[in-house]
Structure 1
Amino acid sequence: MKTIKLAPVLLIMVFFMDVNTSKATQTTGATHIAYTVTFPEAQAHYADIEMNISGLHQNGLDLKMPVWTPGSYLVREFAKNIESFNVSANGKTLASPKTSKNCWHVNTAGLSAINVKYRVYCFEISVRTSFVDASHGFLSTTGIFIYPDKMLHLPSTVHIVPYKGWTKVSTSLDMVNNDPFTRYSPNFDILFDSPIEIGNQDVFGFDAAGVKYEVCMVGGGNYDKERLKTDMAKIVETETNVFGENPNKHYVFIVHNYLRGGGGLEHLSSTTLGASRDSYATESGYRNFLGLVAHEHFHLWNVKRLRPFVLGPFDYDKENYTTDLWIAEGFTAYYQNRVLRHANLVTPDIFLTTVAAEMSVMENQPGAKIQPLAEASYDAWIKAYRPNENSINSTISYYDKGAEVATLLDLEIINDSKGKYCLNDVMKYMYNTYYKGKKRGYKDIEFKHGLEKFAGKNLDDFYAKYVTGLAPIDYNHYLGYAGYKVTDELVSTNDPTLGITFAANNPKKIISSVLRGSAAWIDGINVNDELTAVDGAPVTDAATILNGKKPGDKITVTVLRDGLPLTLPVTLLRNNKVNFKVEALPNPTPQQLVVQKKWLGL
């Protein structure tokens, strides 16, 4: 194993539990796995991996690379980034033929140890993929570390030799012998759930709920550390109160700040977030970041521990299907707003405005009338992460509709229990019963029974309408429990629309989507058509093409389709988009005030 001598001025922020030599060293005769990661060509986006396996006793060994990363439900084929794969023993190269897209077979008869070397190309910016350049290295571990088949239970060590000038490592993996560049994982599920950031990140920390938190900021930004420490701690405390305990000893936020960034990926004891580096100074930008923090941190309970039955132990070779992503992600999307409200980080008015806006987003998607929520969860692998031009018409987000269903269930439980219970009680009960008690994930019917326990009634009809069915959501019925109603601010408008959108950042008016049931849909305007004229007048400003028109008007639309001109007669229809607003009902009853107080955390 190579080592590196660190300069005396090296600054390391330490928020990790240390692993002593005896814990990191395996029992004599057992299989030992040790990785060394180097970056000889970081500027060209490569990480070089050396894997030493000793204590072998079998005649053959399959070495595998995961094809997906938990929390992101798409087969990403990480093996596509591997180059220069080589296996040797006793100074001699061993044959290592590929037996499948992500598997190499090695004949280990008579061998007790092998050495594996390979390179990984790391140049995809996202929270779920690895990225390396001269400024820093982010290792999304499922796409970095090959593992020996049927040995996912084995521990391993990872030694990092940083690129020139890099001085810090941020990860939730424990240190070995107080060395921040050598980390220990008790098994591969933990290793694959522990991203690693190496570079010169800005690191600060805070304590909350009895846990040490590290925040690792990459890429700069106009953030206020002290404000973040205070507000992130409030989020942690509020979410811990939902479940009654925080199961971590330390937790790491890895935040990648870009010119324009977003998204997050949860892990057992850490999360990776994407953010826009200059958005922290605006109230809306800062609030959006806190919402992302609340969402991903809530996942340390919901999905990482309290999880659908099939999501762990993981099969890293293929899809792991579940109909319950609407609970894992949708409930979490609901809680990110609920937590900000209950932590007093947003006002009740901002919370209700957010609730209304999210209702509008879902209702304006035609796919909400086509794809049931449970199906959206199951088909995430082939639809949600592979959207096309027609996805808006044929699918619904299990995040969006799941959050709406969580809203309804929270209000139902609060109302039916007269303020005694809420969705928090369901989450805590399920966490204690299945994660802590039964030490397994829940099945569909078991989560439904958990909801019924606190709602005090059968939810077959609710599920048939909103989970497995396509019934329109009766928002006013549920909001009425808390003394509110929803109104559509566009209900009295009579604006015409073609029902199309245009590709962004293109001077040509290229159509990128056509809404189901719209004038363009009915009269044959297609995605990828270039809109050139309306009623013979050249199109220069897409925003004004229907000025002076009204629903029912017949117009001619000229497009270029595959380079050929085509003129289509179109009958304009009314724009049916909604823009919801949540308003208080007059003279709320005592029961409504009880629900309102519990729901809004007043």
Structure 2
Amino acid sequence: MTAKSQVKINFEASFTEPQAHYVEMEMNISGLSKEYIDVKMPVWAPGSYLVREFAKNIEGFTASANGKPVRFEKVRKNAWRIYSAKAANVKINYRVYAFEVSVRTSFIDDSHAFLSSTGIFLYPDGMLKQPSTVKIKPFKGWEKVSTGLEPVAGQPFTYTAANFDVLFDSPIEVGNQDIFEFTASGVKHEVAMFGGGNYDKEKLKVDMAKIVDHATAIYGENPNKHYTFIVHNFFTGGGGLEHLNSTVLGASRNGYSDIKAYKGFLNLVAHEYYHLWNVKRLRPVALGPFDYDNENYTTSLWVAEGFTSYYENKLMYRSGFFTDQETAQNLATAITNVVNTPGAKIQTVAEASYDAWIKSYRPNENSNNATISYYSKGEVVGMLMDIEIANATKGAKNLDDVMKAMYDEYYKKLGRGYTDAEFKTMVEKISGISFTNFWKTYVNGTDPIDYVKYFGYAGIKVTNEHAGKNVPYLGLATKKLEGRVMITAVSRNSGSWIGGLNVNDEIISVDGNPVEAAVDKMPAITGKNVGDSVTFTIRRDGIVKDITIKLLAATSVKLTATVDENATDLQKAVRKGWLN
């Protein structure tokens, strides 16, 4: 068999029917003398923890060896076996249908092509470490390609990847996107804007550079030679996906002039950019090297994703986009969202991480009652841990020190991922105190969040506006559908839950009064008190029935945070050490 180092793998992507959402792929493998070659397509995209079965979009698969057609067969859902009879040159052709708008899936139409690499490129089984070359042949009228891949000198629209992990971590935008650049932390950053919009390039250059500089300052180095932001501006858009030296962001094309929406976009920039260190390099041990055929389970997504959600707040604060007061309130609101999720009392954040593959991306009508997001709970855990470290060290250390020490130890020194136990050990080393009870309470437990204590360490007062109020609460959500009022959600342990109202029940009347346009707010409890009964006449599976429920008191919280200007010197030191 020829040495793998002599194997060459080349791809060519072209577009003959972009209006029909297709890319034509040609893959050439040379220098590999085997009776047969298995080629595979990943079933998931790193950073998005769901098996998406990308192979379902492949059609028109053909293979030839030394210029002649050869036999092939599909040997599993995402793998094809090509009987090449030790031929030196094997060519594979296939088409990929791409018509799903998201930051993690490919989309092609007559205006542009977005190629999310895990759903586009095949790889020879067992050869993930092999380099490859990619040539893009833009459709007529398309003039630009944006990607984090390294360009090949002297060959337009041709790029090289050191291995398939790099290729799969490098999305490609093809079309006529608006491109501008800025330099921050010594790194050239390209911003590729598709879809138009009312953005101000000069303002974005300055504001995005601030985020880059503050993120880089945490780790003391920027791991990139160049970085690419691919931004898809739609009528309404959102979401982001991190990559090795690039990211894909979704945005609303006319939202840049609204201050809240603009800060929301910068929040997204901060989140995805911070991923350069947290998860793309410093990562849980289960997330590298990747198994592209199966789920990659870890209990630590609350660090990989949740902490990143938390750090977008710190980066926005440090970049000057939020004040102390605004930051405190933003974090209090994050706690509010977790406390008001019934599933937070059922599922731990470690379990949420492990079950991401089967629950997080496949929510149903009961998800809010049974699960918690490792993003939202992880954000809160990161904040509590950060304040705890700052308090234990009187403001001398914070979570930044933990993240940098982990990056230096496990990514740079050991070149591997970390375990949950290793992360806990580093937290204890930096803080000088035990975090065993913290882990038991907030990572592997579902105990209530002691937000008064933690905010108090930093001289921030938190009040619950709902405290002491005996407000009746139905515990259901409705939606008007074709003139009918339908139940869309029922909250755990509410009167509606206990009484037996169901999602998809049609509400005909409440206490004998017809339901007309009650969609956003159910007027059924007007004038009622906790303990009173309400009778719903509903239609379920065509059968009309009455269900009487007892109104219970609302248990939700609404937290308001206020920075205490009369805080003690220690509290001020903790606050400064925590945020700065």
Structure 1 residues 27 and 505, CA gap change in structure 2 (3 angstroms): farther
| Residue 493 (structure 1) shift | 3.1
Q: Distance in 1 between matches of 2:565 and 2:66?
A: 83
Aligned ranges for residues 325-340 of structure 1 at < 5 Å?
325-340=301-316
Secondary structure class of the residue paired with 1:292: helix
The corresponding residue for 2:465 is 489
Letter in 2 for 1:556: T
- Alignment match of 1:567 (pick from 535, 546, 564): 546
Q: CA deviation at 1:587?
A: 3.4
Looking at structure 1, the residues matched to 5 and 409 of structure 2 have their Cα atoms a distance apart, in angstroms, of 38
SS of aligned partner of 1:124: strand
Distance 1:67 1:504, change over 3 A: farther
Q: Determine the C-alpha separation between the residues in 2 that align with 1:311 and 1:120.
A: 27
Query: How far apart, in 2, do the equivalents of 1:28 and 1:525 lie?
Result: 63
Of 87, 94, 102, which aligns to 1:118? 94
Does the 8 Å CA contact 1:250/1:269 hold for their aligned counterparts? yes
The answer (yes or no) to whether the contact 1:169–1:180 under 8 Å persists in 2 is no
Equivalent of 2:129, from 147, 150, 153?
A: 153
The reply on whether 1:48 has 2:24 as its aligned counterpart is: yes
Relative to the length of structure 1, the TM-score reads 0.94
CA apart distance, 1:354: 0.8
Instruction: Tell me, yes or no, if structure 1 residue 225 matches structure 2 residue 204.
Output: no
Indicate conservation of the 8 Å contact 2:472/2:554, yes or no.
yes
Partner of 1:587: 566
Give, in whole Å, the separation in 2 of the partners of 1:277 and 1:195.
Answer: 21
Structure 2 CA distance for partners of 1:289 and 1:28, relative to 1, 3 Å: closer
User: What pairs up with 1:224-303 in 2 under 5 angstroms?
Assistant: 224-303=200-279
In the alignment, which residue of structure 1 is the partner of 2:382? 406
Determine if contact 2:524/2:534 at 8 Å carries over to the other structure.
no
From 162, 169, 178, give the equivalent of 1:193.
169
Q: Deviations over 1:322-346 (max 9, x none)?
A: 0000000010000000110011121
Counting only pairs closer than 5 Å after superposition, residues 461-540 of structure 1 correspond to structure 2 as: 461-503=437-479, 507-540=483-516
CA deviation after TM superposition for structure 1 residue 90, in Å: 3.1
The size of the alignment, in residue pairs, is 576
Q: What's the CA shift for 1:27?
A: 10
Q: CA deviation at 1:203?
A: 0.6
Alignment partner of 2:24: what SS?
A: strand
In 2, the alpha carbon distance for the partners of 1:110 and 1:29 equals: 17
The secondary structure found in structure 1 opposite 2:305 is helix
- How far residue 92 of structure 1 moved from its aligned partner, in angstroms, is 2.5
Which one of 455, 458, 478 corresponds to residue 431 of structure 2?
A: 455
Q: Do the aligned partners of 2:325 and 2:561 also contact (CA within 8 Å) in 1? A: no
Is the Cα–Cα contact under 8 Å of residues 189 and 228 in structure 2 kept in the other structure?
yes
User: 1:29 and 1:128 mapped to 2: Cα distance?
Assistant: 31
Residues of 1 paired with 2:447 and 2:571: CA distance?
25
Cα distance, 1:407–1:151 mapped onto 2, change above 3 Å: same
Q: Which moved more, 1:294-303 or 1:54-63?
A: 54-63
**Aligned partner of 2:426: which letter?**
G
The partner residue of 2:153 within 177, 199, 205 is 177
Change (3 A) 1:278 1:313: same
Call closer, same or farther: CA 1:487–1:506 in 2, change over 3 Å.
farther
Give the % identical residues. 55
Q: Is the contact between residue 539 and residue 545 of structure 1 (CA under 8 Å) also seen in structure 2?
A: no
Alpha-carbon distance, 1:585 to partner: 4.4
Aligned to 2:410: 434
**What SS does the aligned partner of 2:100 have?**
coil
> Are 2:10 and 2:28, in contact at CA under 8 Å, matched by a contact in 1?
yes
Counterpart residue number, 1:545:
524
Mapped contact 2:328–2:563 kept (Cα < 8 A): no
**How many Å separate the matches in 2 of 1:199 and 1:146?**
23
Deviations 1:279-337 (A, max 9, x none): 11111101110000000000010000000011111000000000000000010000000
Residue by residue over 1:343-368, the C-alpha shift from the partner in whole angstroms, topping out at 9 and shown as x without a partner, is: 11211222112111111111110000
Q: 1:504, CA displacement in angstroms? A: 7.2
**Equivalent residue of 2:266, what SS?**
helix
Question: SS at the partner of 2:383?
Answer: helix
Partner of 2:49: 73
1:167–1:243 CA distance, 2 compared to 1 (3 A)? same
The alignment partner of 1:545 has SS state of helix
Match in the other structure for 1:32: 8
Say which of 73, 83, 104 aligns to 2:80: 104
Alignment-derived partner of residue 535 in structure 2: 556
Partner of residue 386, structure 1: 362
8 Å CA contact 1:201, 1:219 repeated in 2: yes
Q: Return the letter of the residue paired with 2:83.
A: N
Matched with 1:7 is: none
Kept in 2: contact 1:489–1:579 (CA 8 A): yes
The residue that corresponds to 1:18 in the other structure is none
Which residue does the alignment assign to 1:23?
Answer: none
Amino acid at match of 2:560: K
Residue type matched to 2:398 in 1?
C
> Per the alignment, do residues 178 and 531 of structure 1 end up closer, same or farther by CA in structure 2, a change over 3 Å counting?
farther
- Separation of aligned partners in 1, 2:21 and 2:365: 32
Deviates more, 1:128-137 or 1:346-355: 346-355
Match of 1:374 in 2: 350
Mapped to 2, the partners of 1:296 and 1:507 lie a distance apart of 42
Q: d(CA) in 1 for partners of 2:220 and 2:327?
A: 24
**How far off its partner does 1:546 sit?**
2.5
Offset of 1:221 from its aligned partner? 1.1
Verify the 8 A CA contact 2:325 2:562 in the aligned structure 1: no
Runs ≥4 residues deviating over 3 A: 26-29, 503-507, 584-587
Over the aligned positions, Cα root-mean-square deviation in angstroms equals 1.5
**Secondary structure, aligned partner of 1:278:** coil
Q: Sort the Cα spacing of 1:29 and 1:409 in 2 relative to 1 into closer, same or farther, 3 A.
A: closer
- Using the size of structure 2 for normalisation, the TM-score is 0.97
Distance 1:27 1:61, change over 3 A: closer
- 1:28 Cα deviation (Å)? 11
Aligned pair in 2 of structure 1 residues 422, 180: CA closer, same or farther (>3 Å)?
A: farther
Give the conservation status (yes or no) of the 8 Å contact 1:323–1:377: yes
**Residues 151 and 28 (structure 1 numbering): CA distance in 2 closer, same or farther, change over 3 Å?**
closer
